[in-house]
């Protein structure tokens, strides 16, 4: 199991509705957070800085390591206006 898989598994496991969103900053500078959606699904957000946005390749790697092969990836902005990518877990 890779280090990234362990980190993402921990974040996903700690994500609970109504609780603070767990996040971590990876060595690459990528900030990863996981939250629970109202319908029971989960969503991972990837951010960097105001001048740098995360790449789709980084999102694909995180999606694969989280074992969410059918998850969608979309561009968005955080509440504070930072560019981010959202990876939304596919629900059956």
Alpha helices by DSSP H, listed for 1-92, are 3-14, 56-65
Q: Within 13 Å of residue 89, how many CA atoms lie on the same side as its CB?
A: 18
| pTM for the full predicted model | 0.89
Confidence of residue 92 (pLDDT cuts 50, 70, 90): low
CB 68 within 8 A of CB 90: yes
Give the per-residue pLDDT at 38. Answer: 86
Residues of the chain above pLDDT 70, percent: 99
3-state secondary structure of 65: helix
3-state secondary structure of 42: strand
Give the per-residue pLDDT at 51. Answer: 80
Give the per-residue pLDDT at 18. Answer: 81
Distance CA 24, CA 47 (A): 11
Q: What is the mean pLDDT of the chain?
A: 91
**Per-residue model confidence as pLDDT tens digits over 36-77:** 988 888 999 999 987 889 999 999 999 999 999 899 999 999
Report residue 77 CA to chain centroid gap.
13
Confidence of residue 84 (pLDDT cuts 50, 70, 90): very high
Q: Are strands 72-77 and 23-25 parallel, antiparallel or unpaired?
A: unpaired
């Amino acid at each position: 199991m890779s280090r990234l898989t362990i980190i993402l598994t921990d974040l996903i496991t700690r994500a609970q509705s109504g609780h603070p969103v767990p996040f971590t900053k990876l060595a690459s500078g990528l900030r990863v957070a996981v939250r629970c959606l109202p319908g029971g699904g989960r969503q991972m957000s990837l951010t960097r800085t105001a001048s740098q946005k995360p790449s789709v390749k980084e999102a694909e790697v995180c999606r694969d390591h989280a074992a969410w092969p059918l998850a969608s990836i979309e561009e968005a902005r955080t509440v504070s206006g930072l560019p981010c990518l959202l990876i939304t877990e596919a629900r059956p």
